[in-house]
A and B are shown apart, each in its own frame.
Chain A
Amino acid sequence: MIPELGHFALALALALSLAQVVVGLWGAQRAEARLMAATAPLAAGALIAVAAAFACLAWSYVVNDTTVLNVVQNSHSAKPLLYKLSGTWGNHEGSMVLWVLILALCGGAVAGFGGNLPSALQARVLGILGLVSVGFLGFILATSNPFDRVWPPPPDGQGLNPILQDPGLAFHPPLLYLGYVGFAVTYAFAVAALIEGRVDAAWGRWVRPWALAAWSFLTLGIALGSWWAYYELGWGGYWFWDPVENASLLPWLAGCALLHSAIVVEKREALKTWTVFLALLAFGMSLLGTFLVRSGVLTSVHAFANDPERGMVILGLLALYIGGGFALFAWRAATMVPTGVFAPLSREGALVLNNLLLCSIAAVVLVGTLYPMFADLLLGEKISVGPPFFNLATLPLAVPLVLAMGFGPMLPWKRARIFPAMQRLWWAALAGFAAFLLCLAIEGWRIGPALGFAAALWAIAAAAADIADRIALFSRPQAAWARAKGLPRAAWGGALAHAGLGVMILGLAGMGLATDKLALLKPGEATTLAGMEYRLTGLADVQGPNWTARRATVEVRDGDRLVTVLEADKRSFAVARMQTTEAAIHTTWARDLYVVMGEERDGGAVLRIHNNPLAPWIWLGAAIMALGGGISLSDRRMRVSAPAARPVRAEARA
């Protein structure tokens, strides 16, 4: 009964979304106030229907309803409750329902909080969001219904892939989807602006928080996924330039460019066409990511068994929404008159440079990710593009990006001179240079990590210099506290996000110095790595809730001092007939001690030991970046809608 209700709710949501499209777009076109006013309740109704469908699916998972095919294939009664719930979106059908749920949530938010938008713009945005909803709801109902029944019901389910039974991965998809789908809203705003042929500061003020929120969630989602790969896959790495990973990086890069160029639209009413283009691009990249992950067209270490036919449907939707969006762009972009004029050397100029570099990086990643597919189609050659390509091709673009990141916030709008900015930043440059030399002195000729440390310190120090300058910490220290309190939160958020990137680069540079060692140890034997002694003290059997494991206990000593006892598992999941490796990790702020257990032979066990300097800073930095986004979002100006006059900037510098 409950699954049928869920199925019905999905169909109802499709009907409501369809009504939302027609009423929203047609009503706005005919300027019918009553029709336009009806879009918001329709969006709320669609949200309720999709939420009900999702709740029904989650309920089927929680009670382990084995008459539902989807539950049978992906769940098992012996799983902990958290993983029964996360199993709801740990498979193709469920994850698509989650995707649509988040889209409906965004629609509900635009309907609920968008009362102060011009009503035609709100109706159009909701209409476009409804259009996206219709496509994906139709896709779910036609090809991947999660509520299909199976008869007779098997005694129990087949279990969730054990590697997905992990708290990190339980929350990874929802966060990632919040990011992906958040860009649907900026897309809807862009298409609505194209239809109206008008982009102004008020539009920018509406788009920016959405871009910022989507970007922050995407940052968290990617970081969580990377952290999961780090501790769960047990390869000791955090980023493999895998197609599925790149698929999440592409919208992040485009979204990062978008949220910066939206600042220019809001503050200066320049770069309008470009911002609209980026909004289309960011959502296009999100859809492309969904397509790459769901279709399995690319060989990926994260690939799951997929159905290429479903991939073709998503590709069709991608072509429809993005092709339609860009066609509209080509037709209507000329109607948007650029207004703000600026010199190449100015805040706007710096933001253009940021956009240019971010888009170049995105282009390189896109080519590297898709080239194997085209080589296969056109040349019939199976090719893969690995990490060396991406490192080599993106690094030269990332270096000027980080360099410009320090200068950008220091430059005034419209026209700037480089000398005053240099005056404020010389000590940040000095810190970077010192880090570069220090790293070379300690670690020898390792140019990559040294460059990373220099970039990290430069970014952090430049962000600090920016804040110090704005609150006049050095010139008028007695008034600094009062000025700090008066500083808009967007300024704090921006500086914090920039510093967060610096912290992340610090972690990346540290990981550039990581070492590892493979050793076959019998109980009692020891090996050393990076000054630490690792002694295997025992091998034992352990019983978990739905797994049994062989556990290697390793004592780590620094000289005579016991640092930690690590317990690395090799777990066997009976239901899924699968083994997973649980790395044992001891984290200090300076480094991660990381032990993975391999197979057992000759009375001993193969251990892979990693010494990962500064590893936790990678994810800490990402969290700081997302926090910066959050603080920026809480800025009063983000919530106040479209004030008539542009606010006069009190701290404007000549």
Chain B
Amino acid sequence: MTRKRRRLWVLLLCGIGLGSATALTLTAFQDNLVFFRSPSDIAQQAPAPDRAFRLGGLVETGSVARETAPDGKPAARFRVTDGAHAVSVTYVGVLPDLFREGQGVVTLGKLGPDGVFRASEVLARHDETYMPPEVADALKRSGHWNPAEGAAPPAATWNTLDPARAPAAGRSGS
């Protein structure tokens, strides 16, 4: 085998490898990209009912209700808000430890025809001071946080976005 033919082989193999990787990536991208929507986005334009997306915002204070689903499974119902609009969410399952009212939350699921978001996942964080970047962005867009006035306050103090009810001082993250 000459060096030239060997190089041809190697190039051909690389081409196949790269080509198949690209093809696989593009095919998988087609159906599996999950978009993020804030409650205001949904109020503006409702997404298609059969497409899963992520909904994020703050858990509205006083909105969390535990109930039992029709098939006997434990469920939870709460509202996710970005200050301007809110969306009702139902979730069948065990809520993560860091889920609480006034905290940032990101949920994955589909919007039902009744306007209620059916979450299949509620994402947990390891850190109570962590603010999901999408949620911070949604809050900025809905006009509840102006980055020019300084850094975002800790997630625990966002609460219902009512400054009077926020705790006096939040823990600073490391």
Measured CB to CB, the residues of A under 8 A from B are 70, 73-74, 91-93, 158, 161, 163-164, 233-234, 296, 299, 301-306, 338, 341-344, 352-353, 356-357, 359-361, 363-364, 367-368, 371, 381-386, 388-390, 392-393, 396-397, 518-520, 570, 576-581, 596, 598-599, 601, 606, 608
Contact = CB atoms under 8 A, between A and B. Distances in A.
B139 to A, nearest CB: 13
Closest 5 CB pairs of A and B: A305-B173, A382-B36, A598-B94, A389-B32, A360-B21
B13 A518 contact: no
Contacts of A163: 126
Given A158-B171, A389-B28, A520-B68, 7 more contacts: A301-B124, A301-B125, A305-B173, A305-B174, A368-B28, A388-B31, A578-B128
Contacts of B126: 161, 163-164, 301-304
Interface residues of B, number: 53
Interface in B1-41: 1, 3, 6, 9-10, 13-14, 17-18, 20-21, 24-25, 27-29, 31-36
Given A518-B94, A578-B128, A385 B33 contact: yes
Contacts of A305: 127, 129-131, 173-174
Interface of B: 1, 3, 6, 9-10, 13-14, 17-18, 20-21, 24-25, 27-29, 31-36, 54, 66, 68, 72-74, 92-95, 97-98, 106, 108, 123-134, 137, 171-174
Contact of A364 (B25, B35, B54): B25
B24 A392 contact: yes
Contacts of B72: 519-520
Nearest to A164: B126
A459 B87 CA distance: 50
A305, A357, A383: residue with the most chain B Cβ atoms closer than 10 Å? A305
A155 B49 CA distance: 54
Dominant SS among interface residues on chain B: mixed
14 contacts: A342-B1, A344-B9, A352-B10, A360-B18, A363-B25, A393-B27, A396-B20, A518-B93, A519-B72, A519-B73, A576-B128, A580-B97, A601-B66, A606-B74
Nearest to B26: A393
A70 B173 CA distance: 11
Contacts of A608: 93-94
Nearest to A298: B133
B97 A578 contact: yes
B125 to A, nearest CB: 6
A393 B24 contact: yes
> Which of B28, B31, B95, B172 has the most chain A CB within a 10 Å cutoff?
B28
A598 B127 contact: no
B66 A599 contact: yes
Contact of A596 (B28, B31, B94): B94
Contacts of A382: 35-36, 54, 134, 137
B75 to A, nearest CB: 9
Nearest to A598: B94
Contacts of A578: 97-98, 128
Contacts of B123: 301
A360 B17 contact: yes
